[in-house]
Structure 1
Amino acid sequence: MSSIRNDHEVARDLATEAGQRLLRLRARHGFAEPEVLRTLGDRTSHEFLFSALGRLRPSDAVLSEEGADDPARLGARRVWIIDPLDGTREFAEVGRTDWAVHVALWENGGLAAGAVALPAQGSTLSTVDPPWLPEERPADQRLRITTSRTRPPAFVERMANRLGAEVVPMGSAGAKICAVLLGIADIYVHAGGQYEWDSAAPVAVAKAAGLHASRIDGSELEYNESDPSLPDILVCRPELSGMLLASIREVADRDGAGPHSVN
């Protein structure tokens, strides 16, 4: 990979290549030992991405789920935020395609580039060429909310009932946000625990495509913070954001909790 490629292309190409390596690992190792496969997947992808970024962008810092957190990133102008294998559980399950590779660049206070590879789905969504969003969703179409298949926030079912929406459980956060980007779902909402690497790359692509992305109280998603915890998120079509944020507040008020306590 040439170092003259722009940051958007670097994010896309690295995420795609890491995903291809994970597919080969999956095929070679099989699924008989899922814990071993998960460990190998995390390590293989991290080592490739960390090494490639060190070669292509040697002056930049890296924050990775699988690497030691270097405090020097807090003073850096450019930080790559990567999740080498998002949806590790799904990666080690036969037939699951809802896992991803995330590569994002944070620069001077905001997300500047990003890519989400969905290797088992044969695609990579990136800020090189963000997905095109239809101008309007069909008015008679039931809302679809995608949320965690293993840790769904308790308030989502109540919110879905209030809105008459269908709940669509999925694995990787990247796969869920890409589902909104691709029109498979209308809303992704999560509360109860995530980190910057879980959302940085998909949020970069979502915002480039024109989606709304925020905390569930409507505040900004902040990256390259001293504490990388970023526990909740809402991603949706922009015309739905006001209604959804109000619905989340109503559910929280009914339960006697603040919006960050609705998990």
Structure 2
Amino acid sequence: MPAADLPLLIDAARAAGRIATSFTGPDAQRWDKPGGAGPVTEADLAVNDMLTDMLRTARPGYGWLSEESEDTATRLGRDTVFIIDPIDGTRSFVEGSKTWAHSIAVAEGGQITAAAVYLPMLDKLYTAGLGQGAALNGAPLAVSDTERMQDCSVLVTKPAMQPHHWRDGTPPALKRGHRPSLAYRLALVGEGRFDGMLTLRDSWEWDIAAGALIVSEAGGTITDRAGLPLRFNNPHPTLDGVIAATPVVHAGLFAALKPPSP
């Protein structure tokens, strides 16, 4: 129900921004998660608590998947699920950077139907509803019109450009950029500021869900690294890498990549 859910996600994203910005990133209390899973701060937890209360009260029948909540199998029995990253780019938040985001999505039957990615320090609110298009602060979005791989700019980290990932041992020539937040990287593709985004690592659903709909509703193509459609609310909530780009650039990246190992 994107028409019903999207206004709720927008309100939730803006409320999350008010909470997160009430903390001073470098001074916020922080901990390191077990197993090298990265940092978490008191701001992450405060935002997660608010979103849990606000969203689950509004939609008590929906399942719940959040980076900062204990995951249970209960969500697997729900056809519709919230998929949340309270703060995507916590390291950036801790460093006092502005490029962290709140990522909030609804998945129905494994498909994202409503999404919001909000960067409160930049006042950028990206939204999308299934079949309704994508927008930035209410203005419609469309992916870039780049037609040649030689001209493309892609958000990608150095490890993904290592020769062993590519069919001929040589990564394609492209202009490379980076942003710490995966949700923001995807939103920038939807905005048309970059032609693509590539990650070859297993990716948590909460980092990808909202941005995935923004890309597709802006006219882009998004798959896993094997070229398969993304499906959400998996028992183990990860995706096998992500290729998100304009249709031309997606085709070029996919053709140049080595197939993933079986």
Q: TM range, normalised to the smaller chain?
A: 0.7 to 0.9
Give the residue type in structure 2 aligned to 1:31: P
What number of residue pairs does the alignment pair up? 243
Q: Show CA shifts across 1:37-91 (max 9, x none).
A: 9411210111011110121111111111110112111111211010111110001
1:178 aligns with 2:187: yes
Q: How does 1:1-263 map to 2 (within 5 A)?
A: 6-26=4-24, 31-32=26-27, 35=30, 38-94=40-96, 96-127=97-128, 130-131=134-135, 132-133=141-142, 136-137=145-146, 142-148=151-157, 152-155=159-162, 162-248=171-257, 252=258, 258-259=259-260
SS of equivalent to 2:201: coil
C-alpha separation in 2, matches of 1:51 and 1:20 = 16
Structure 1 residues not aligned, in runs of 5+: 253-257
Check the 8 A contact 2:191/2:218 in 1, yes or no.
no
Query: Given residue 8 of structure 1, which amino acid in structure 2 is its aligned partner?
Result: L
Structure 2 unpaired stretches of 5+:
32-38, 136-140
Alpha-carbon distance between aligned partners in 2 of 1:192 and 1:110, rounded to the nearest angstrom: 21
Give the residue type in structure 2 aligned to 1:117.
Y
- Runs of 4+ that moved beyond 4 A: 138-141, 156-159
C-alpha separation in 2, matches of 1:114 and 1:59: 18
How far apart are 1:154 and its partner, in Å? 4.3
Flag the 1:38–1:69 CA change in 2: closer, same or farther, 3 A.
closer
Q: Hey, what's the Cα distance between the residues in 1 that align with 2:149 and 2:77?
A: 49
Looking at structure 1, the residues matched to 125 and 145 of structure 2 have their Cα atoms a distance apart, in angstroms, of 24
- Mapped partners of 1:194, 1:142: distance in 2: 27
Cα separation, 1, equivalents of 2:98 and 2:165: 28
Label 1:141 to 1:240 Cα distance change in 2 as closer, same or farther (>3 A).
closer
Distance in 1, matches of 2:236 and 2:90, equals 22
SS in 1 for 2:193: coil
Q: Distance in 2 between matches of 1:193 and 1:69?
A: 18
Amino acid at match of 1:102: S
Change (3 A) 1:34 1:68: closer
CA contact (8 A) 1:157 1:167 kept: no
Letter in 2 for 1:50: T
**Residue 109 of structure 1: how far off its partner (Å):** 3.0
The code of the aligned residue for 1:73 comes to R
What is the aligned partner in structure 1 of residue 35 from structure 2? none
TM-score under structure 1 length normalisation: 0.83
Partners in 2 of 1:163 and 1:54 — Cα distance?
45
Classify the secondary structure of the residue corresponding to 1:25: coil
* Cα 1:165–1:34 shift into 2, 3 Å: farther
How many Å separate the matches in 1 of 2:142 and 2:163? 24
Richer in strand (by share): 2
Partner-residue secondary structure (3-state), 2:206: helix
Shift of 1:157: 10
Deviation at 1:10, TM superposition (A): 1.1
Q: Could you tell me which amino acid in structure 1 is paired with residue 102 of structure 2?
A: V
1:6 is paired with a residue of what secondary structure? Answer: helix
RMSD of the alignment, in Å?
Answer: 2.6
Aligned pair in 2 of structure 1 residues 75, 185: CA closer, same or farther (>3 Å)?
same
Q: Offset of 1:164 from its aligned partner?
A: 2.2
Quote the sequence identity (%).
26
Query: Which structure's residues are more often helix, by fraction?
Result: 1
